[in-house]
Amino acid sequence: MQTTFTPDQLTDPATKRSNEILRACVHCGFCTATCPTYQVLGDELDSPRGRIYQIKDMLENERVPDPKTVMHIDRCLSCLACMTTCPSGVHYMHLVDHARAYIEQNYKRPLSDRALRWVLARILPYPNRFRLALLGAKIGRPFARFIPDPRLRAMIAMAPKVIPPVSRNDDPQTFAVADKKMRVALMTGCAQRALNTDINDATIRLLTRLGAEVVIPDGQGCCGALTHHMGKEDESHATAAKNIRAWVAQMDAGLDAIVINTSGCGTTVKDYRHMFRNTDLATDAARVSAIAMDVSEALMKLDLPTQADQNTKVAYHAACSLQHGQQIKTHPKTLLKKVGFTVLEPADSHLCCGSAGTYNLMQPEISAQLKDRKVQTLEALQPDIIAAGNIGCMMQIGSGTDTPIVHTVELLDWATGGPRPAGLDGKAGQTPPVPILR
């Protein structure tokens, strides 16, 4: 694609990077075949190719974003299926992130939009605040039908029936092992700590059982993805910087990996190298990105025992941030098969479920259509269990099916000696925290 940025414009690192990405695009349109919003809406402007044209025009002309352009860019899920499909290697993620930051700086949204984004940015990344908000949503659920704004109704519907108690396993500490094979830092996350504490508990049990010393670093928190995808760069970089400093402190004491069991967070942490490339944290950010691993990557490096057939059919949902953002497509399935589960995949495994961070709260109508489509293809497999590697996907899909859905790591923990996942009985967040090696 031909671009006309001026030399002065290209002195800005973000614009220079966007120019490189735009020039790689050859207008082929392969991306439209795997774009969820294009599949649902059928509008070229709601496809990656259409958004690329709009972003190019907006950035080249340095114009104030108009409501139509903002609408189409807001509708993007950042599922990154287009990057998997693109034969030219167009790095759409960095381009749309730049566009969102530009919109945040140059466009005044309607008051209701600004208020919603402000609330989400100041609640979701903070587990204690999020717990209080979930409690308020739970109390307000009987009155949800009287609320005219579908986005507020979606926020209320997000609250689980049971809000799990705080897990002390998420506190800064070290879970030591007798025969240490590796030392890892576990990112405990933010929203996940309020929605489902079973996932981190199961991860710690499984990793320690397999010989990994697990450190919960002091000072870590939200990865910054939620605010990053809203274009709020200052906020996202501030929380990400805290993580970098917390993890580097552990790296200096010897660390083999930073393990992340929420794939949306993993995609962002692995991109810290790019996010901080022009800052004084560039070197440390690159060190962090170099050893960041999805939990499935870490488990592939450990000796997960082969187990007998579990006689259980598991429908595996591939989170977009894992299969497209991190290009991890086989590890979770390989691990599940190794411990004896029969793994099934839906026909639309490449398409998003509609969760996409805060997308299901800000674009509830489109999100609901994608959820219904995903649930139908999963239920068509007639599985006993649905497994996923991302809390957002679990909440989204779980709200549309009676088939129990749990994190992949919970099934691996169960198959190798851990407790039966409480989520299989509709009690997510209530698995006993013991036994855990300390």
Structural domains in the chain, CATH included, are 9-106 (1.10.1060.10), 111-158 (no CATH), 168-299 (3.40.50), 303-425 (3.40.50.1860)
Q: Check residue 435 and give its pLDDT.
A: 43
Among 277, 19, 115, 13, CA closest to 123: 115
- Name the residue among 358, 351, 355 with its Cα closest to residue 374: 351
Judged by DSSP in three states, 35 sits in coil
Query: Residue 193 in contact with residue 170, Cβ under 8 Å?
Result: yes
Determine the pLDDT at residue 368.
93
pLDDT for the residue numbered 429: 54
Given this model, what pLDDT does residue 438 score? Answer: 34
User: Residue 401's CB: how many other CB atoms inside 10 A?
Assistant: 17
Q: What pLDDT, on the 0 to 100 scale, is given for residue 320?
A: 95
DSSP-derived secondary structure letter, 325: I
Q: What is the pLDDT of residue 329?
A: 95
AA letter at 289: S
* pTM for this predicted structure: 0.91
Q: What distance separates the 2 farthest-apart alpha carbons in the chain?
A: 64
Q: What is the pLDDT of residue 430?
A: 52
Q: Which helix (H) or strand (E) holds 168?
A: none
Half-sphere exposure of 183 (CA within 13 A, CB side): 14
> Tens place of pLDDT for every residue, the chain, 438 residues?
899 999 999 999 999 999 999 999 998 989 999 999 999 999 999 999 999 999 999 999 999 999 999 999 999 999 999 999 999 999 999 999 999 999 999 999 999 899 999 999 999 999 999 888 888 877 777 777 777 778 777 777 777 777 888 999 999 999 999 989 999 999 999 989 999 999 999 999 999 999 999 999 999 999 999 999 999 999 999 999 999 999 999 998 899 999 999 999 999 999 999 999 999 999 999 999 999 999 999 999 998 999 888 899 999 999 999 999 999 999 999 999 999 999 999 988 889 999 999 999 899 999 999 999 999 999 999 999 999 999 999 999 999 999 999 999 999 999 999 999 998 987 665 554 444 443
**Closest to 397 measured CA to CA, from 429, 432, 360:** 360
Q: What is the pLDDT of residue 427?
A: 63
Return the pLDDT at 436.
42
| pLDDT at 432 (0 to 100) | 47
- As given in the structure block, the two tokens for residue 239 are 């929380």
**Looking up tokens 């700590």, which residue turns up?**
193
Instruction: Tell me how long the chain is.
Output: 438
CB-CB contact of 272 with 303 (8 Å): no
Report d(CA 406, CA 394) in Å as an integer.
7
